[in-house]
Each structure stands twice: as C-alpha cells, then as structure tokens.
Homo-oligomer: A and B are copies of this chain.
Amino acid sequence: MSEAVTHFKDLCSPIWNLYSVRSLLYWDQQVLMPSGGGGARANQIAALEKVCHGMLTDTKFKDSLQRAEEAAGEDIDKRYLRSARRAYDLASKLPSRLVEERARATSLAVEAWVEAKKNNDFKHFLPHLRTVFDLTREVAEHKGYAEHPYDALIDEYEPGMTTKKIDSLFGGILPPLVQLVQGIAAARPISRKILQQPFGFEGQHEFSRYLLEQIGFDFNRGRLDQSAHPFCASSTSSDVRMTDRLDEWLVTMSIFGSLHEGGHGLYEQGYPAEWNSTPLGGGCSLGIHESQSRMWENFVGRSLPFWKAHFPKMRSIFPQQLWGYGPEDMFRAVNYVEPSFIRVEADEVTYTLHIVMRYELERDMITKALDPADLPDAWNEKMQKTLGVRPPTDALGCLQDIHWSDGLIGYFPTYSIGNVVAAQLWNKIGKDLPDLESEITRGNNLGLLDWLRKNLHRYGSSVLPEEAIFEATGGEELDHRPFVDYLWDKFSRLYEIQRP
C-alpha cells in the first residue's frame, strides 16, 4: 500500500471511529438513557459532529485525499477513497451557515410537528414546513445536480439514484399495484382471528429472540432491546444493536419488527471486521439496507415455509392462544391486506402506494409545483385515488410522518427501492438455491444467509448501490417487475383473484 494511502487512512481512522461512537450514543439515548440526560447528550453529539466535521473539512484531509487518489493502485484502496471522497463532498459542499440554520429550523419544525399532530392543526406546522423546504431547496443547489434538484437530495441516501429513475420505477409499479389493491378489496377477506388475541410480553420477547437466532443473527456481536420506535443501530459489525416494541394485542409488531431489524442487523454483521469504523464499513445505501430488512420480514417471514418451520415453537410458547390453529392460519393472517391511513401499519401490498404519494408530494414541493399550503388537499386526493380511502384528519394524513419536519427529504423512496431490490435478489436466490423453500420449511435459513453474505453483505460500503445490485443479481439494473410479479403472484393466490 502506498505511503500516501496509509497516511490518508490514518487521518480517517479517528473520524470514522467517532462516527461509530455516535451511533452508540443514539442507541443509548433511545434505549436506556435516564430522562434527564437529554440536554447533555445533545451537547455530546453536537461536539462529536463538530469535531468530525472539522477533521473532515480540514485542508490536511483534502490534500491527503488527493495525494492518496493519485497514488492508489489496489482496487480496494480505490473503493476506500471513493467512499471517503463522498463523505468529504457531503461535509464540505454545504456552508456551515446553512448547516446550522437547517439544524435549528428542523429542530423547531419537529417540535411544531409534534404539537400540530397532537392537535390536528396543520396550520401550526405550515410555516415550519415551508421553511424546511426552502432550506432544503438551498441545500440541493449547494450540492449540485445534473437534471433535477431532487436528484441532489435523494443522492445523499441512495448514491447515484435520480428523479428520472424513480419516476420510471414508480410509473411501472403504480398501475398494477392499484389493480391488485382493487382486486383484493373485491375479494373474500382473509381471517385474522388467530392474531386478535393478547400475547404476553415475556413470550413475545422469547419468540423474537428465537427467530433472530433462527435467521442467524450473532448475539455475541449484537443485542436486542426494547424502545419506543424499533430500529437497528450498528456501531460496528462487532456490535449491532436492534430494538423492538411489544404490544399485547399486536403480536405481529414484535415478530415482524424483529425480523425487519434483524435483516438490517445481518447486513451490518456481514462486512469484514477490519472494515469496522472505516469508510468501507456499513451498508452501501438506505435502499439496499431496506432490501435486507424487507426480505427477512416479508419474503421470508410472511411466507408459508417459514411458518411451517416456526409455528410449532410459537405454539409451544403460546399454547392457549394457538390451540387448534396451524401454520396456514398464521400465514394467511399475517398477509391480511387492507388499505389504511397509516404508512407504518400498512401491509406488504399497500405499503408502496403510501411511498409513491409521499415521493410525488415532496418532489413537487421542492420544485414549487405544489405549495406547502395545499399539501393536505393534495395528500387526501392522492390517497383517495390510489388507496381508495380518505383520512378524516390531517393527523391521520399528511401529519403522520416525522420525515419532512426533520428535513429528511429524498428519504421516502428508499423504502420502496428496498422492496424492489429484495424481489430482484429473491428471484436470483431462487435460481441459485433451488432447495431454498424446503430448507426454510425445515427451519434452515443459513443457506440463504450464506448467499446474502457472499453476494452482498461482505461488500459493505465498498460498492455503490447499482454495483451491489449488478453483482448480486448477475448483471441486472434496478427493475420494478420482479416486485410487481412477486406481489401479484403471492396475493392473487391468497385472495383467489386473477391478474388481468
């Protein structure tokens, strides 16, 4: 390795180590920090970010990066430098005045949003929403883009993704998905009686832990705890921490929450330990990350083979509740489809429709095609058109998500990219592992995990999302068709309907 590269890596080491500490601070805050610790914690996180930002935007860093780029020979070093360059660009393109202004504005906006949601008072939130979008437009200008200001925003979460590609993606998904939703609405509903019972917390926790062990999560390098909002915070691949949330009357929340976060966790445990706290560690984008959580949650966790394998365990934990039921009952119940107002409670079919409308609305607010004042009406109309329901209040409508108040604009599409990529991978896996279904039925998920490790996880952040998809699928680009086919295939059988 050239001296210039070594020198640069030495500069990166403290920065990425502090970044990995930040993720632990976040976890701690959500899971067990005493309530009075919030102010001091905010200062700690701000200090950590200031120090990292200072080191990252120091001329020394830039010069060393340039020298390393000129000297780098090995492929892996080039990937290291590409990822570090991305971080440098993200950190250095925005004037600190704008960064601070946005931090302040979003902090106030989140506060106002909490209030507005509680009181169903969109007007209270409107000025903040306007400010956040104004500042975000400025951010896009500073970051730069080839075609569309929204490109600059989504690129932060999904490197290389563009508005044009997303338009084409959602353009392909929307019509057949609306057809499917309408078909299901007209079909005979599935029974979900099996789920409409209380399930004790201890048993839920035991079953969640059991499932995470079954899908191969390594508890020597991770934890499962509880928090108000489930998440996965990976400090390093040696310390990956997930949370779930328990509700006595909604056992599916802990089951699929755990599998979802477990999918994120497996991805994070899958890159080499020597990449810990370096630009090569972590996942390569939010969309690719979401492909892993959705795969384990939906493609695996909501499948009949999976319930054939694990229903007996669940029945042994909850013998009273599950007496007289079988795996088929559980499989059907967890695939109940119903258009609803709330994204995070949506089923596999309607979920994407929630995302598409959010994408269109935020894109249009960025271009000023939609004025924030008109958001509630636009929201309700889109929802009526695609999901066939109309929220009775803004609290159940355009005020339900935290993202816009928090300045996370360009983020929503990554949820759907995850579903789409998961379906592409699932197709390829089906070809590479012809016995997959019977393996999963026998309770063996390690063949699948091994495939994911080999074809995706081990690359960490050394690849761009499109490279990751290309590598893992054997040459494909992002393609919505496998996802649409997967949904139609699965749900037309479940609901006994015909694809037109």
Chain A positions within 8 Å of B, measured between CB atoms, are 13-14, 17-18, 20-21, 24-25, 28, 32-41, 43-44, 46-48, 50-51, 55, 218-223, 235-239, 273, 276-277
Contact partner of A220 (CB less than 8 A), chosen from B17, B36, B51, B273, is: B36
Contact partner of A44 (CB less than 8 A), chosen from B221, B223, B277, is: B277
Closest chain-B Cβ to A60's Cβ sits at a distance in Å of 12
Contact partner of A39 (CB less than 8 A), chosen from B47, B223, B273, is: B273
Q: Contacts A14-B51, A47-B277, A276-B40 hold; do A239 and B20 have CB atoms under 8 A apart?
A: no
Q: Contacts A20-B40, A20-B44, A48-B21 hold; do A221 and B34 have CB atoms under 8 A apart?
A: yes
The residues of B that contact A24 with a CB separation of less than 8 Å are 25, 28
The residues of B that contact A14 with a CB separation of less than 8 Å are 47-48, 50-51
Contact partner of A223 (CB less than 8 A), chosen from B32, B41, B47, B218, is: B32
A354 vs B237: C-alpha distance when bound (angstroms): 44
Output the nearest chain B residue to A31 by Cβ-Cβ distance. Answer: B32
Taking a contact as CB atoms under 8 Å apart, the answer to whether B219 and A40 are in contact is no
Closest chain-B Cβ to A48's Cβ sits at a distance in Å of 7
Taking a contact as CB atoms under 8 Å apart, the answer to whether B28 and A221 are in contact is no
The residues of B that contact A35 with a CB separation of less than 8 Å are 220
Taking a contact as CB atoms under 8 Å apart, the answer to whether B20 and A235 are in contact is no
Please indicate which of the listed interface residues A34, A38, A48, A235 has the most CB atoms of chain B within 10 Å of its own CB. Answer: A34
Taking a contact as CB atoms under 8 Å apart, the answer to whether B43 and A276 are in contact is yes
Q: Contacts A24-B25, A24-B28 hold; do A277 and B34 have CB atoms under 8 A apart?
A: no
* This chain: copies in complex: 2
The residues of B that contact A39 with a CB separation of less than 8 Å are 238, 273, 276
Q: Contacts A17-B47, A21-B44, A48-B17 hold; do A34 and B276 have CB atoms under 8 A apart?
A: no
Taking a contact as CB atoms under 8 Å apart, the answer to whether B223 and A40 are in contact is no
Taking a contact as CB atoms under 8 Å apart, the answer to whether B277 and A36 are in contact is no
Closest chain-B Cβ to A18's Cβ sits at a distance in Å of 6
Contact partner of A36 (CB less than 8 A), chosen from B20, B34, B238, is: B238
Taking a contact as CB atoms under 8 Å apart, the answer to whether A18 and B221 are in contact is no
Closest chain-B Cβ to A266's Cβ sits at a distance in Å of 15
Taking a contact as CB atoms under 8 Å apart, the answer to whether B238 and A37 are in contact is yes
Output the nearest chain B residue to A50 by Cβ-Cβ distance. Answer: B14
Closest chain-B Cβ to A109's Cβ sits at a distance in Å of 25
**Could you give 26 example pairs across A and B, Cβ below 8 Å?**
A14-B47, A17-B46, A18-B18, A18-B48, A20-B40, A21-B44, A21-B48, A24-B25, A28-B28, A32-B223, A34-B220, A34-B221, A34-B223, A36-B220, A36-B221, A36-B238, A37-B221, A37-B235, A39-B276, A40-B236, A40-B276, A40-B277, A41-B239, A43-B277, A44-B277, A47-B277
A219 vs B33: C-alpha distance when bound (angstroms): 11
Closest chain-B Cβ to A281's Cβ sits at a distance in Å of 10
The residues of B that contact A36 with a CB separation of less than 8 Å are 218, 220-221, 238-239
Taking a contact as CB atoms under 8 Å apart, the answer to whether A235 and B40 are in contact is yes
Please indicate which of the listed interface residues A41, A43, A221, A239 has the most CB atoms of chain B within 10 Å of its own CB. Answer: A239
A218 vs B37: C-alpha distance when bound (angstroms): 12
The residues of B that contact A219 with a CB separation of less than 8 Å are 34
Closest chain-B Cβ to A129's Cβ sits at a distance in Å of 32
Taking a contact as CB atoms under 8 Å apart, the answer to whether A47 and B28 are in contact is no
A239 vs B17: C-alpha distance when bound (angstroms): 23
A464 vs B237: C-alpha distance when bound (angstroms): 44
A381 vs B223: C-alpha distance when bound (angstroms): 49
Q: Contacts A24-B28, A28-B24, A34-B221 hold; do A238 and B50 have CB atoms under 8 A apart?
A: no
| The 6 residue pairs across chains A and B that have the minimum distance between CB atoms | A17-B47, A37-B239, A40-B236, A36-B221, A14-B47, A36-B220
Closest chain-B Cβ to A392's Cβ sits at a distance in Å of 38
Q: Contacts A51-B51, A273-B40 hold; do A25 and B34 have CB atoms under 8 A apart?
A: no
Closest chain-B Cβ to A228's Cβ sits at a distance in Å of 17
Contact partner of A239 (CB less than 8 A), chosen from B13, B33, B277, is: B33
Output the nearest chain B residue to A49 by Cβ-Cβ distance. Answer: B14
The residues of B that contact A220 with a CB separation of less than 8 Å are 34-36
A222 vs B38: C-alpha distance when bound (angstroms): 12
